[in-house]
Amino acid sequence: MTNQPPSVSPDTPVFVVEDPRALVPVNDYPSCQIPIPQSKMFLIKKMLENYRAKFGADAVTHDASQGDGGASLPGVPHNLMERALELFKQKGTGYDQPFGTEAFRKGTAEQYWQFKSETGFGPQNITATDGGRDGLIKAYQAMISLGTQRIGDTLLVSRVPWISYLWGPYSVGANVLLAPGDEAESWALTEEGIEASVKFSQEHGGRRVAGLVITSPDNPTGRTLPMARQIALAKKALDSGIPFVLFDWIYNQVTAGVPADINEVLLAFSPAERDRLIFLDGLTKSLGASNVRNAHLVAGKPVIDFIVSRSSHTVAPNFFGQAVALAAYEIGFRKAAMPLIEPINQSREIARQFFTEKGYRTIIGDGGYYAFVDCSPAIEAGGLEDSRAFNQHLAENFGVTVIPGRDFSEFARNWVRFSYALPPEKTRKALERFDEGFRALIK
């Protein structure tokens, strides 16, 4: 707080920030922003009510729209919840540090990521967040304030991004730019697309790209990128003058293969470049812990210090989520998450085989729990406008819901996201019902 000088009358208002040059300049950009739409994820389930009204309250429905493994699978195993409660009772209900607790930092660094000493990273490079969206907003703010240091610059994402990538950055003053991407290549980022985006941004109001988001496994497309591609894209971004690259790895544990190795990425960059990398991970997908609200960011010390100082005045992470993570670390995270990962891995192969045998055009990677499905044949044959109308057809006539691709991007207007975060037997039934609805329009 400002120490009021003796020469200032007590009747005179004073700014907290004394230096006039440090005052936030007047800017009317909030008055020009369009309203931010609510995520359809929270609304789409209501569509099944019309199906039950038509076919009876006991009519079987299939929700293949959700991105919440804790809703369709068992969620956090009870033994972990009980152990977390023990840790919570031991700790008490007092305030934590704005980065969480030292135990969480240490466990995440040493047990979860297992940082190699040569990376220079350790517990000091981790901050807990109150879920993935909280972590993303804090990362965006750091990119803006420590990177280009200007409101109105851009955040670069893929051509068909997760819907909250569109509106989270916009809510804190960044314009979102969709990179060039070819449908035939699953709209994947390319080095040429990054270069073109930097040029395009500059040509539109002299804007700079404040950050690039790389996500694998991807939401919504299900696309996965080899680590070498992720590294190459990040290098291109940094070489192009983009201050920060954010790796969203929230689905990385949900794989039949090997989860992401952060050391491989860190050691591919110089120590100075490592400070320009940010990583997001958490419990939401791998433990079905959507309502536990725990994620974390890994970043260079300047970014972590910036986020921690802001968190002390805004949103500090809750301890119970950290306790669930610590309980999982105690027995080995991969082992703790297997009750969710195993059925998802089985369902992924069921979906892959089903769509292949039926002749669908799809994107199904090696991780995560989404299949992206081209529904153009049914939409065009049925005279429907787009995938939103197709989803309504599925929900109200066949009792199955997906997420319309158009909700993510106009460039995926005829695609849908099919979630197979379901027990294998439910995945089979949802696929069969989806196929019935699809073919009913073609006949």
Q: Is residue 34 part of a domain?
A: no
Is the bond into 339 cis (omega within 30 degrees of 0)? no
Question: What are the backbone dihedrals phi and psi of residue 75, each rounded to the nearest 5 degrees, phi first?
Answer: 80, -160
213 in Cβ contact with 157 (< 8 Å): yes
pLDDT at 6 over 80: no
Q: What CA–CA distance (Å, rounded) separates 224 from 287?
A: 20
401 in Cβ contact with 395 (< 8 Å): yes
pLDDT at 333 over 60: yes
Q: Is residue 198 part of a domain?
A: yes
User: Do 340 and 317 sit in the same domain of this protein?
Assistant: no
Q: Is residue 210 part of a domain?
A: yes
Instruction: State the total domains in the chain.
Output: 2
Average pLDDT, the chain: 95
Q: How sure is the predictor about 388, in pLDDT bands with cuts at 50, 70 and 90?
A: very high
User: Do 166 and 227 sit in the same domain of this protein?
Assistant: yes
Is the bond into 217 cis (omega within 30 degrees of 0)? yes
Q: What's the whole-number mean pLDDT along residues 323-336?
A: 98
Q: Is residue 158 part of a domain?
A: yes
143-169: string of b/e by CB count within 10 Å (b at 16+)?
bbbbbbeebbbbbbbbbbbbbbbbebb
Q: Is residue 6 part of a domain?
A: no
Evaluated on CA atoms 136, 307, 106, 273, the torsion sign reads positive
Distances (CA, A) of 26 to 23, 89, 145, 153, 274: 9, 47, 17, 17, 34
> What is the DSSP annotation of 280-321?
EEESTTTS--TTT--EEEEE-HHHHHHHHHHHTTS-PPPHHH
Q: How sure is the predictor about 5, in pLDDT bands with cuts at 50, 70 and 90?
A: low
User: Do 309 and 257 sit in the same domain of this protein?
Assistant: yes
pLDDT for 188 equals 97
Span between the terminal Cα atoms of the chain, in Å: 72
Whole-prediction pTM value? 0.96
Q: How sure is the predictor about 41, in pLDDT bands with cuts at 50, 70 and 90?
A: low
Q: Tell me the CATH number at 361.
A: 3.90.1150.10
Q: What's the whole-number mean pLDDT along residues 229-255?
A: 98
pLDDT at 288 over 80: yes
User: Do 183 and 304 sit in the same domain of this protein?
Assistant: yes
Residue 210: strand pairing partners? none
Q: How sure is the predictor about 407, in pLDDT bands with cuts at 50, 70 and 90?
A: very high
pLDDT for 2 equals 52
pLDDT for 376 equals 98
395 in Cβ contact with 386 (< 8 Å): no
> What is the DSSP annotation of 154-192?
EEEE-SS--HHHHHHHHHTT-EEEEPP--GGGTT---HH
Q: Is residue 174 part of a domain?
A: yes
Residue 97: strand pairing partners? 100
Q: What CA–CA distance (Å, rounded) separates 362 from 371?
A: 7
Percent of the chain with pLDDT over 70: 98
Q: Is residue 217 part of a domain?
A: yes
pLDDT for 368 equals 97
Q: What CA–CA distance (Å, rounded) separates 173 from 154?
A: 9
pLDDT for 430 equals 97
Q: How sure is the predictor about 345, in pLDDT bands with cuts at 50, 70 and 90?
A: very high
Q: What's the whole-number mean pLDDT along residues 97-105?
A: 98
User: Do 423 and 410 sit in the same domain of this protein?
Assistant: yes
CA angle, residues 400, 406, 408, in degrees to nearest 5: 100
pLDDT for 3 equals 59
Q: What's the whole-number mean pLDDT along residues 406-421?
A: 97
pLDDT at 145 over 90: yes
Q: What's the whole-number mean pLDDT along residues 105-125?
A: 98
User: Do 184 and 290 sit in the same domain of this protein?
Assistant: yes
Last residue of a domain, one of 315, 331, 347: 331
Percent of the chain with pLDDT over 90: 92
pLDDT at 191 over 90: yes
Helices (H), 172-243: 191-203, 227-239
Q: What's the whole-number mean pLDDT along residues 158-185?
A: 97
Q: What's the whole-number mean pLDDT along residues 269-284?
A: 98
Q: What's the whole-number mean pLDDT along residues 374-400?
A: 97
Range of the domain at 126: 78-331
Q: Is residue 134 part of a domain?
A: yes
Three-state secondary structure call for residue 386: coil
Q: How sure is the predictor about 172, in pLDDT bands with cuts at 50, 70 and 90?
A: very high
| Poorest-pLDDT segment among 21-25, 32-36, 46-50, 191-195 | 46-50
